[in-house]
């Protein structure tokens, strides 16, 4: 195939050929100079004074940039693995602390921290000044003797009243008891005839556990009450049903058992359907 169509572009005059040769030669020379310069160019060394000055200024910048940060107080219960490593704790010590914390427990003193983790005294001496425990831990660091004396003094101040002689006004003074709840307690006492145990207050509808615990601090069954005994072998279904523990259909079951097996004895109460086995001892006091 003849390339006659590009032939006009390949035809140069003598002056053009001379110019191209000169340009190519110049480019090759410049490239050779740039390529071989590191072999023959050696920079002059800096004076000693200049080198010392550069080293000093570089070290000053380094110190200024990477100055150490102050160590802040921390709660050792929440120490991280990285921070434990920085303080010098061993892996075993850190794992002991984590196992202790997994039980839902907390270390509340430097001594307890060492007992749990078994860290050496040298490491504890470095860490202890930065321990920061919650404020409530520090406020309750009293000896057992002091706490016992305080509890004894508080107990002496509270004179417990007889729950069977308490009035609505007495009950309302207890935190958590209002007019409605005090009226329920008094009505339940009337239905029973009297309280023979403080645990019977838990049977009052709407009485919360924390309020019951507060009642135990202010009231008690001071004297055994004089009860009007229920004649379980003679009472009718209606008479038995008036007793809170023998509400219908328990009263019906009692009469049915009595008619089929004869007079009921104390040990027979467990055979009557509906009677609470847990309360048999209390029920027996009313019979």
Q: How confident is the model at residue 66 (pLDDT cuts 50, 70, 90)?
A: very low
Average pLDDT rounded to a whole number, residues 199-226: 86
Residues 131-188 pLDDT 10s: 887 766 555 555 555 555 555 555 555 678 888 888 889 888 888 888 888 898 988 8
The span from the CA of 123 to the CA of 120, in Å, is: 6
Closest CA to 256 of 230, 244, 274, 243: 274
Of residues 177 and 255, more confidently modeled: 177
Mean pLDDT computed over every residue of the chain = 76
Of residues 208 and 40, more confidently modeled: 208
Average pLDDT rounded to a whole number, residues 218-236: 82
| CATH code of the domain made up of 161-220 | 1.10.150.320
Q: How confident is the model at residue 50 (pLDDT cuts 50, 70, 90)?
A: low
- DSSP symbol at 105: -
pLDDT for res 155: 53
Residues 267-287 pLDDT 10s: 777 777 777 777 777 777 777
Instruction: Please tell me whether the overall predicted TM-score, pTM, comes out greater than 0.75 for this model.
Output: no
- CB neighbour list of residue 97: distance below 8 Å, 6 or more residues apart: 76, 77, 79, 84, 107, 113, 116, 117
Q: How confident is the model at residue 49 (pLDDT cuts 50, 70, 90)?
A: low
Q: Is the pLDDT of residue 113 over 80?
A: yes
pLDDT for res 46: 59
Of the listed ranges 40-49, 72-81, 132-141, the least confidently predicted one is: 40-49
- DSSP symbol at 149: H
Helices (H), the chain: 14-40, 48-65, 81-87, 91-102, 110-117, 121-127, 135-139, 144-157, 168-172, 179-192, 209-218, 237-241, 250-261, 280-284
pLDDT for res 149: 59
Instruction: Report the share of the chain in percent with pLDDT over 70.
Output: 75
Average pLDDT rounded to a whole number, residues 207-219: 87
Name the most confidently modeled range: 34-38, 49-53, 149-153, 241-245.
241-245
Of the listed ranges 50-54, 76-80, 169-173, the least confidently predicted one is: 50-54
Name the segment(s) of the chain with CATH classification 1.10.150.320. 161-220
Residues 181-200 pLDDT 10s: 889 898 888 888 888 888 88
Of the listed ranges 84-88, 141-145, 230-234, the least confidently predicted one is: 141-145
pLDDT for res 64: 47
The span from the CA of 234 to the CA of 239, in Å, is: 10
Are the C-beta atoms of 264 and 254 separated by less than 8 Å?
yes
pLDDT for res 63: 46
Q: Is the pLDDT of residue 41 over 60?
A: no
The span from the CA of 239 to the CA of 188, in Å, is: 17
The span from the CA of 186 to the CA of 142, in Å, is: 41
Of the listed ranges 12-26, 68-82, 144-158, 252-266, the least confidently predicted one is: 144-158
């Amino acid at each position: 195939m003849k390339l006659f169509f590009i032939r006009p572009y390949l035809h140069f005059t003598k002056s053009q050929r001379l110019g191209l040769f000169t340009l190519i030669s110049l480019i090759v020379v410049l490239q050779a100079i740039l390529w071989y310069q590191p072999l023959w160019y050696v920079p002059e060394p800096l004076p000693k004074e200049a080198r010392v000055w550069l080293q000093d200024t570089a070290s000053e910048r380094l110190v200024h940039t990477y100055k150490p940060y102050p160590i802040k107080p921390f709660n050792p219960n929440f120490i991280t693995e990285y921070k434990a490593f920085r303080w010098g704790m061993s892996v075993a010590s850190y794992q002991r602390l984590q196992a202790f914390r997994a039980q839902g427990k907390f270390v509340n003193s430097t001594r307890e921290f060492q007992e749990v983790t078994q860290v050496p005294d040298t490491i504890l001496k470095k860490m202890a000044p930065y321990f920061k425990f919650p404020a409530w831990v520090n406020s309750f660091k009293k000896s057992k003797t002091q706490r016992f004396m305080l509890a004894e003094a508080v107990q002496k101040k509270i004179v417990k009243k007889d729950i069977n002689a308490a009035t609505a006004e007495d009950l309302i003074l207890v935190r958590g008891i209002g007019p409605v709840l005090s009226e329920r307690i008094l009505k339940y006492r009337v239905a029973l005839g009297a309280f023979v145990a403080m645990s019977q207050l838990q049977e009052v509808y709407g009485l919360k556990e924390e309020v019951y615990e507060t009642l135990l601090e202010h009231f008690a069954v001071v004297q055994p009450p004089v009860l009007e005994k229920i004649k379980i072998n003679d009472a009718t279904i209606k008479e038995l049903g008036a007793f809170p523990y023998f509400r219908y259909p328990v009263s019906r079951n009692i009469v049915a058992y009595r008619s089929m097996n004869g007079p009921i004895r104390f040990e027979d109460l467990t055979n009557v359907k509906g009677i609470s086995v847990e309360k048999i001892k209390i029920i027996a006091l009313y019979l």
